[in-house]
Amino acid sequence: MDGLPLRLGLTMWSHNNWQQSFYGSGTKPAERLEKYAQVFHTVEGNTTFYATPSITTVQNWKSATNDDFRFTFKLPKAITHQQMLKGSQAQLKEFMQVMAPLHDRIGQWTIQLPAAFGPEHLDALKQFCALFPPSFPIGVEVRHPAFFAKGDAERALNQWLMERGYDRIIMDSRPVFAAKPDNEAIIDAQMKKPKVPVHAIATASHPMIRFIGHPLEQQNYDFFTPWLSKLPQWIAEGKQPYVMIHTADNIVAPELAANLYKMLQKSVALPDLAPFPANDGNSQLQMF
Protein backbone atom coordinates (compact mmCIF):
# COMPACT_ATOMS: atom_id res chain seq x y z
CA MET A 1 0.00 0.00 0.00
CA ASP A 2 1.23 3.48 -0.77
CA GLY A 3 1.99 6.02 1.94
CA LEU A 4 -1.32 7.90 1.86
CA PRO A 5 -3.58 7.06 4.83
CA LEU A 6 -6.65 8.15 2.85
CA ARG A 7 -7.47 9.08 -0.74
CA LEU A 8 -9.67 12.11 -1.39
CA GLY A 9 -11.38 12.73 -4.71
CA LEU A 10 -14.32 14.13 -6.63
CA THR A 11 -16.80 12.68 -9.07
CA MET A 12 -15.10 14.35 -12.07
CA TRP A 13 -11.97 16.27 -13.02
CA SER A 14 -13.41 18.58 -15.67
CA HIS A 15 -16.02 21.23 -14.84
CA ASN A 16 -16.40 24.57 -16.62
CA ASN A 17 -17.40 26.33 -13.39
CA TRP A 18 -14.05 25.44 -11.81
CA GLN A 19 -12.08 27.49 -14.34
CA GLN A 20 -11.59 30.52 -12.05
CA SER A 21 -12.00 28.86 -8.65
CA PHE A 22 -9.84 25.78 -9.12
CA TYR A 23 -7.81 25.46 -12.33
CA GLY A 24 -6.82 29.05 -13.04
CA SER A 25 -7.95 31.15 -15.97
CA GLY A 26 -5.04 30.11 -18.19
CA THR A 27 -5.76 26.39 -17.98
CA LYS A 28 -6.98 24.75 -21.18
CA PRO A 29 -9.63 21.98 -20.99
CA ALA A 30 -7.03 19.40 -22.02
CA GLU A 31 -4.91 20.41 -19.00
CA ARG A 32 -7.64 20.02 -16.39
CA LEU A 33 -6.86 16.45 -15.34
CA GLU A 34 -3.20 17.34 -14.80
CA LYS A 35 -4.22 20.28 -12.58
CA TYR A 36 -6.79 18.18 -10.73
CA ALA A 37 -4.25 15.41 -10.03
CA GLN A 38 -1.87 17.93 -8.45
CA VAL A 39 -4.38 18.38 -5.60
CA PHE A 40 -6.53 15.27 -5.25
CA HIS A 41 -5.44 11.66 -4.87
CA THR A 42 -8.16 9.92 -6.86
CA VAL A 43 -11.19 10.53 -9.06
CA GLU A 44 -14.44 8.73 -9.74
CA GLY A 45 -14.38 7.92 -13.45
CA ASN A 46 -17.98 8.36 -14.55
CA THR A 47 -17.08 8.80 -18.22
CA THR A 48 -16.48 5.09 -18.73
CA PHE A 49 -19.98 4.31 -17.46
CA TYR A 50 -21.47 6.02 -20.50
CA ALA A 51 -18.92 5.17 -23.19
CA THR A 52 -15.62 3.37 -23.59
CA PRO A 53 -12.92 5.96 -24.34
CA SER A 54 -10.52 5.76 -27.25
CA ILE A 55 -7.05 4.34 -26.71
CA THR A 56 -5.65 7.82 -27.40
CA THR A 57 -7.82 9.29 -24.65
CA VAL A 58 -6.63 6.64 -22.18
CA GLN A 59 -3.02 7.42 -23.08
CA ASN A 60 -3.70 11.12 -22.51
CA TRP A 61 -5.17 10.35 -19.08
CA LYS A 62 -2.04 8.42 -18.21
CA SER A 63 0.22 11.25 -19.39
CA ALA A 64 -1.74 13.78 -17.30
CA THR A 65 -1.34 11.86 -14.02
CA ASN A 66 1.49 10.37 -11.99
CA ASP A 67 2.10 6.89 -10.62
CA ASP A 68 0.67 7.86 -7.22
CA PHE A 69 -2.73 8.88 -8.62
CA ARG A 70 -5.67 6.44 -8.69
CA PHE A 71 -8.72 6.27 -10.92
CA THR A 72 -11.87 4.43 -9.84
CA PHE A 73 -13.48 3.82 -13.21
CA LYS A 74 -17.04 2.56 -13.44
CA LEU A 75 -17.64 -0.38 -15.72
CA PRO A 76 -19.82 0.45 -18.75
CA LYS A 77 -23.55 0.58 -18.06
CA ALA A 78 -24.08 -1.73 -21.05
CA ILE A 79 -22.48 -4.44 -18.90
CA THR A 80 -23.82 -3.54 -15.46
CA HIS A 81 -27.29 -2.18 -16.20
CA GLN A 82 -28.39 -3.38 -19.61
CA GLN A 83 -27.00 -6.90 -19.46
CA MET A 84 -27.04 -7.18 -15.65
CA LEU A 85 -23.53 -8.70 -15.92
CA LYS A 86 -24.70 -11.70 -17.98
CA GLY A 87 -23.11 -12.69 -21.27
CA SER A 88 -20.73 -9.76 -21.14
CA GLN A 89 -17.33 -11.50 -21.08
CA ALA A 90 -16.36 -10.27 -24.56
CA GLN A 91 -17.43 -6.68 -23.77
CA LEU A 92 -15.47 -6.73 -20.51
CA LYS A 93 -12.36 -8.03 -22.26
CA GLU A 94 -12.60 -5.35 -24.94
CA PHE A 95 -13.07 -2.60 -22.32
CA MET A 96 -10.13 -3.83 -20.25
CA GLN A 97 -7.88 -3.95 -23.29
CA VAL A 98 -8.64 -0.31 -24.08
CA MET A 99 -7.99 0.64 -20.45
CA ALA A 100 -4.75 -1.37 -20.24
CA PRO A 101 -2.37 1.65 -20.09
CA LEU A 102 -4.02 2.66 -16.79
CA HIS A 103 -4.27 -0.75 -15.12
CA ASP A 104 -1.52 0.11 -12.64
CA ARG A 105 -3.32 3.35 -11.66
CA ILE A 106 -6.67 1.81 -10.79
CA GLY A 107 -7.82 2.19 -7.20
CA GLN A 108 -11.00 0.23 -7.91
CA TRP A 109 -12.89 -1.08 -10.87
CA THR A 110 -16.36 0.03 -9.81
CA ILE A 111 -19.27 -2.30 -10.44
CA GLN A 112 -22.28 -0.07 -9.89
CA LEU A 113 -25.44 -2.14 -9.98
CA PRO A 114 -29.02 -0.94 -10.56
CA ALA A 115 -31.78 -1.21 -7.95
CA ALA A 116 -33.24 -4.10 -9.97
CA PHE A 117 -30.13 -6.19 -9.26
CA GLY A 118 -31.33 -8.12 -6.22
CA PRO A 119 -30.30 -11.16 -4.15
CA GLU A 120 -31.47 -13.50 -6.90
CA HIS A 121 -28.69 -12.08 -9.08
CA LEU A 122 -25.85 -12.59 -6.59
CA ASP A 123 -24.58 -15.67 -8.43
CA ALA A 124 -24.30 -13.61 -11.61
CA LEU A 125 -22.13 -11.12 -9.71
CA LYS A 126 -19.92 -13.92 -8.40
CA GLN A 127 -19.48 -15.41 -11.87
CA PHE A 128 -18.76 -11.99 -13.36
CA CYS A 129 -16.12 -11.11 -10.77
CA ALA A 130 -14.42 -14.44 -11.41
CA LEU A 131 -13.51 -13.08 -14.87
CA PHE A 132 -11.10 -10.58 -13.28
CA PRO A 133 -7.49 -11.45 -12.46
CA PRO A 134 -6.99 -11.82 -8.69
CA SER A 135 -4.80 -8.69 -8.58
CA PHE A 136 -7.55 -6.40 -9.93
CA PRO A 137 -9.13 -4.26 -7.19
CA ILE A 138 -12.93 -4.39 -7.28
CA GLY A 139 -15.56 -2.21 -5.61
CA VAL A 140 -19.24 -3.15 -5.69
CA GLU A 141 -22.10 -0.70 -5.23
CA VAL A 142 -25.53 -2.25 -4.73
CA ARG A 143 -28.86 -0.43 -4.61
CA HIS A 144 -31.48 -3.13 -4.08
CA PRO A 145 -33.31 -2.66 -0.72
CA ALA A 146 -32.68 -6.27 0.32
CA PHE A 147 -28.95 -5.59 0.47
CA PHE A 148 -29.62 -2.94 3.15
CA ALA A 149 -32.15 -4.86 5.26
CA LYS A 150 -29.56 -6.52 7.55
CA GLY A 151 -31.07 -9.89 6.71
CA ASP A 152 -29.80 -13.02 4.99
CA ALA A 153 -29.33 -11.28 1.62
CA GLU A 154 -27.08 -8.56 3.02
CA ARG A 155 -25.15 -11.00 5.17
CA ALA A 156 -24.54 -13.25 2.17
CA LEU A 157 -23.32 -10.32 0.08
CA ASN A 158 -21.03 -8.93 2.77
CA GLN A 159 -19.59 -12.34 3.62
CA TRP A 160 -18.75 -13.02 -0.02
CA LEU A 161 -17.17 -9.57 -0.45
CA MET A 162 -15.01 -10.17 2.63
CA GLU A 163 -13.96 -13.61 1.45
CA ARG A 164 -12.96 -12.27 -1.96
CA GLY A 165 -11.37 -9.05 -0.68
CA TYR A 166 -13.76 -6.82 -2.62
CA ASP A 167 -14.83 -3.44 -1.27
CA ARG A 168 -18.49 -2.57 -0.75
CA ILE A 169 -18.97 1.02 -1.89
CA ILE A 170 -20.92 3.11 0.64
CA MET A 171 -23.36 5.72 -0.62
CA ASP A 172 -24.04 8.52 1.87
CA SER A 173 -26.86 10.41 0.19
CA ARG A 174 -28.37 11.74 3.44
CA PRO A 175 -27.16 15.32 2.89
CA VAL A 176 -28.67 15.78 -0.56
CA PHE A 177 -31.98 14.22 0.47
CA ALA A 178 -32.12 16.57 3.48
CA ALA A 179 -32.03 19.55 1.11
CA LYS A 180 -35.16 21.37 -0.01
CA PRO A 181 -35.95 20.50 -3.64
CA ASP A 182 -35.96 24.16 -4.60
CA ASN A 183 -33.63 24.15 -7.61
CA GLU A 184 -33.12 22.04 -10.70
CA ALA A 185 -29.83 20.49 -9.59
CA ILE A 186 -31.22 19.30 -6.24
CA ILE A 187 -34.39 17.94 -7.84
CA ASP A 188 -32.35 16.08 -10.44
CA ALA A 189 -29.99 14.65 -7.81
CA GLN A 190 -32.87 13.50 -5.61
CA MET A 191 -34.43 11.76 -8.60
CA LYS A 192 -31.23 9.98 -9.66
CA LYS A 193 -29.35 9.23 -6.46
CA PRO A 194 -30.36 6.19 -4.40
CA LYS A 195 -31.92 6.87 -1.03
CA VAL A 196 -30.44 3.95 0.86
CA PRO A 197 -29.31 3.50 4.47
CA VAL A 198 -25.66 4.17 5.27
CA HIS A 199 -24.03 0.92 6.34
CA ALA A 200 -20.48 1.87 7.30
CA ILE A 201 -18.91 -1.54 6.76
CA ALA A 202 -15.43 -2.19 5.41
CA THR A 203 -15.45 -5.53 3.59
CA ALA A 204 -11.86 -5.11 2.33
CA SER A 205 -8.91 -2.74 2.64
CA HIS A 206 -10.15 0.24 0.59
CA PRO A 207 -13.66 1.18 1.75
CA MET A 208 -15.11 3.90 -0.45
CA ILE A 209 -17.58 6.53 0.73
CA ARG A 210 -19.52 8.51 -1.84
CA PHE A 211 -20.68 11.58 0.10
CA ILE A 212 -23.41 13.53 -1.73
CA GLY A 213 -23.29 17.02 -0.27
CA HIS A 214 -25.97 19.45 0.90
CA PRO A 215 -26.09 22.91 -0.74
CA LEU A 216 -25.74 24.60 2.67
CA GLU A 217 -22.18 24.42 3.94
CA GLN A 218 -22.86 23.75 7.64
CA GLN A 219 -25.27 20.92 6.91
CA ASN A 220 -22.45 18.97 5.29
CA TYR A 221 -20.30 19.20 8.40
CA ASP A 222 -23.14 17.86 10.54
CA PHE A 223 -23.67 14.87 8.25
CA PHE A 224 -19.93 14.24 7.96
CA THR A 225 -19.42 14.09 11.73
CA PRO A 226 -19.84 10.27 12.03
CA TRP A 227 -17.11 9.81 9.44
CA LEU A 228 -14.70 11.79 11.62
CA SER A 229 -14.54 8.77 13.93
CA LYS A 230 -15.12 5.93 11.46
CA LEU A 231 -12.41 6.93 8.97
CA PRO A 232 -9.64 7.23 11.59
CA GLN A 233 -10.75 3.85 12.96
CA TRP A 234 -10.34 2.24 9.54
CA ILE A 235 -6.97 3.93 9.04
CA ALA A 236 -5.81 2.64 12.45
CA GLU A 237 -6.78 -0.86 11.28
CA GLY A 238 -4.45 -0.50 8.32
CA LYS A 239 -7.09 0.26 5.72
CA GLN A 240 -6.86 3.04 3.14
CA PRO A 241 -10.33 4.60 2.68
CA TYR A 242 -11.42 6.44 -0.43
CA VAL A 243 -13.60 9.51 0.16
CA MET A 244 -15.44 10.81 -2.90
CA ILE A 245 -17.17 14.17 -2.51
CA HIS A 246 -20.13 15.11 -4.70
CA THR A 247 -22.63 17.95 -4.68
CA ALA A 248 -25.79 18.22 -6.76
CA ASP A 249 -24.18 20.47 -9.36
CA ASN A 250 -20.55 19.88 -8.25
CA ILE A 251 -19.75 23.60 -8.56
CA VAL A 252 -18.33 23.87 -5.02
CA ALA A 253 -17.24 20.22 -4.74
CA PRO A 254 -13.48 21.05 -4.67
CA GLU A 255 -13.94 23.54 -1.82
CA LEU A 256 -16.22 21.20 0.12
CA ALA A 257 -13.76 18.34 -0.26
CA ALA A 258 -10.87 20.51 0.97
CA ASN A 259 -12.89 21.69 3.98
CA LEU A 260 -13.99 18.18 4.97
CA TYR A 261 -10.40 16.98 4.61
CA LYS A 262 -9.26 19.73 7.01
CA MET A 263 -11.86 18.49 9.51
CA LEU A 264 -10.44 14.98 9.18
CA GLN A 265 -6.92 16.29 9.79
CA LYS A 266 -8.01 17.19 13.32
CA SER A 267 -8.78 13.51 13.97
CA VAL A 268 -5.99 11.73 12.09
CA ALA A 269 -2.56 12.60 10.69
CA LEU A 270 -3.05 13.34 6.99
CA PRO A 271 -0.68 15.20 4.67
CA ASP A 272 -1.88 18.64 3.59
CA LEU A 273 -3.54 18.99 0.21
CA ALA A 274 -1.61 21.04 -2.33
CA PRO A 275 -3.09 24.50 -2.97
CA PHE A 276 -5.65 24.80 -5.73
CA PRO A 277 -3.76 25.73 -8.95
CA ALA A 278 -5.88 28.88 -9.34
CA ASN A 279 -4.73 30.51 -6.11
CA ASP A 280 -2.31 30.52 -3.22
CA GLY A 281 -4.31 27.99 -1.24
CA ASN A 282 -6.34 30.40 0.87
CA SER A 283 -9.60 30.62 -1.02
CA GLN A 284 -10.20 26.87 -0.93
CA LEU A 285 -11.19 27.31 2.70
CA GLN A 286 -14.10 29.61 1.89
CA MET A 287 -16.93 27.82 0.17
CA PHE A 288 -19.43 30.44 -0.86
Amino acid, res. 102: L
Q: Is residue 1 part of a domain?
A: no
For residue 138, the model assigns a pLDDT of 98
For residue 162, the model assigns a pLDDT of 98
Across 69-132, the runs of DSSP E, i.e. the strands, are 70-73, 109-112
Contact 280, 16 (CB under 8 A): no
DSSP H or E stretch at residue 95:
helix 89-98
- Cα–Cα distance for residue pair 111/49, rounded to 1 Å: 10
Q: Is residue 2 part of a domain?
A: no
For residue 280, the model assigns a pLDDT of 52
Q: Is residue 89 part of a domain?
A: yes
Contact 173, 194 (CB under 8 A): yes
Half-sphere CA count of 177, side-chain side, radius 13 A: 13
For residue 179, the model assigns a pLDDT of 76
- What domain count does the chain have? 1
* Entry field: residues in the chain: 288
A 10 A CB-CB count for 28 gives: 8
Phi, psi of 19 (to 5 degrees): -60, -50
- Cα–Cα distance for residue pair 279/29, rounded to 1 Å: 18
Q: Is residue 101 part of a domain?
A: yes
CATH assignment of the domain containing 241: 3.20.20.410
pLDDT tens sequence for the chain (288 residues): 478 999 999 999 999 999 999 999 899 999 999 999 999 999 998 899 999 999 999 999 999 999 999 999 999 999 999 999 999 999 999 999 999 999 999 999 999 999 999 999 999 999 999 999 989 999 999 999 999 999 999 999 999 999 999 999 999 988 777 778 877 888 777 787 878 888 999 999 999 999 988 888 788 898 999 999 999 999 999 999 999 999 888 889 999 999 999 999 999 999 999 999 997 544 444 443
Provide the domain limits for residue 217: 7-283
